Structure 1
Amino acid sequence: MSSVLQTYLPAKAVTSVEELLKTYSVHLKIVNERQSKHGDYRPMPDGRHQITINANLNPYRFLITLIHEIAHLLVFINYGQHTKPHGRVWKLTFQKLMLPLINPQIFPEKLLPLIAKHFKNPRASSDTDSQLSIALKAYDQPTDKNYIFEIPEGTQFCLPNGKIFIKEEKLRKRYKCRELSTGKHYVFQPNAQVEVLK
């Protein structure tokens, strides 16, 4: 397992993560990219625990996502399935698991303040923390996608579902965009990734 983990995780995090996976009998599956989520946890009928993580994540996002899902596993074991998925118990569990990993041997110095801030009150997805999400993207493989905040007003772009929008003005923190086929307006987080139409 450690050779697989070395491909996806920061080197100094491998031993700690491997111990967690062994302790809780986790069946880790690394899968093709899913648009809707980075990872997923589910208890298996045979008593084991399955976690799936997208293969395209950079090592730092992979680590945060994997620990996020292990926190769900621990909440399930300790409190049962009716606990709020991203409630107080999960947040405390996630914080406790991440704390030993938030150090300069594992994360680059420039990510540490953003990660520390995020983990004061972790959210259901690191993507909803636009500052952290944008900082993590710097470690991704290059893609043909842009963040909404990077493209000029008046630019047309499309989403993975094929819908085409035009970027309009910036509101307080988010961006107002109009869907071309319906004329309806939607607001996008600054870190929404889109494909610019030439």
Structure 2
Amino acid sequence: MEKTALLAKYMPPNAAPIIAKWVDYFQCEFKISKTRSTKLGDYRHPCGDKGHRISVNYNLNQFSFLVTTVHEFAHLLTWNEHKNKVKPHGLEWKNNFKKMMSPIFGLQIFPPDVHQAINRYMTNPAASSCGDLHLARTLKAYDVLKDDVLHLEQLPKDAVFKIKDGRRFAKGEQLRKRYRCLCLDDKRLFLFNPLAEVFLVEG
């Protein structure tokens, strides 16, 4: 399938030509990846006989997919300019994220709430869109969830829930941005993002 048409299946179609041009210009290997629980996307700089590589999870909604893609291309541009001499999410990356988001913003393809959330996020971009709860929550609103899937922040304290691998947890107190939860299977404590997708255990 032609590159632009393929990208248009995962992001707002009007943005696909821009991303396709970036893939060609930077000679980047762009992979639509399986779901990864620890990250939405990934950038790897050239190494050995491999060039720039970017991967983005296939199951993101179209706006999350696009924001994550721009995030990773900002890493690529920053590496081209500074190699590994600067912090991964330092000022240089933040400036490049803003620069690369600018032509996307010009397309007027985001719903008003997403546009506003990204605009606010761009004043000081975080290491991940998930790190900005306002932006993450706004983007998550466009996810299509199964009927039995909830976000952790929707559950009351002490509620018992499961995650996809079957482990059971009791929801604890919120510590800054994350919830401390006790795994009922091995009694270990874990920190969860408020927007983690969970399944309520009845009874």
User: Which stretch has the larger CA shift, 180-189 or 29-38?
Assistant: 180-189
Deviation at 1:14, TM superposition (A): 1.4
Cα distance in 2 for partners of 1:171, 1:86 equals 23
Aligned-pair RMSD on alpha carbons? 2.2
Cα distance in 1 for partners of 2:16, 2:70 equals 12
Residues 140-184 of structure 1 deviation map (CA, whole Å, 9 limit, x = unaligned): 222343111111233101234544221244566654433324555
User: Which stretch has the larger CA shift, 127-136 or 37-46?
Assistant: 37-46
The change in CA–CA distance for 1:190 and 1:59 in structure 2 (over 3 A counts) is: same
Residues 29-52 of structure 1 deviation map (CA, whole Å, 9 limit, x = unaligned): 111111111111112533631111
1:76 to 65, 72, 79: 79
User: Which stretch has the larger CA shift, 67-76 or 104-113?
Assistant: 104-113
The change in CA–CA distance for 1:157 and 1:10 in structure 2 (over 3 A counts) is: same
Q: Is the Cα–Cα contact under 8 Å of residues 177 and 193 in structure 2 kept in the other structure?
A: yes
User: Which stretch has the larger CA shift, 137-146 or 32-41?
Assistant: 137-146
Residues 10-61 of structure 1 deviation map (CA, whole Å, 9 limit, x = unaligned): 0221122122111101111111111111111112533631111111011111
Between the two proteins, the alignment pairs up a number of residues equal to: 198
Cα distance in 2 for partners of 1:184, 1:45 equals 40
Q: Classify the secondary structure of the residue corresponding to 1:7.
A: coil
- Any stretches of 5+ residues in structure 2 without a counterpart? none
The change in CA–CA distance for 1:167 and 1:22 in structure 2 (over 3 A counts) is: same
Using structure 1 for the length normalisation, give the TM-score. 0.88
User: Which stretch has the larger CA shift, 92-101 or 41-50?
Assistant: 41-50
Identity %: 37
Letter of the 2:41 partner, please give it.
G
1:158 to 140, 159, 162: 162
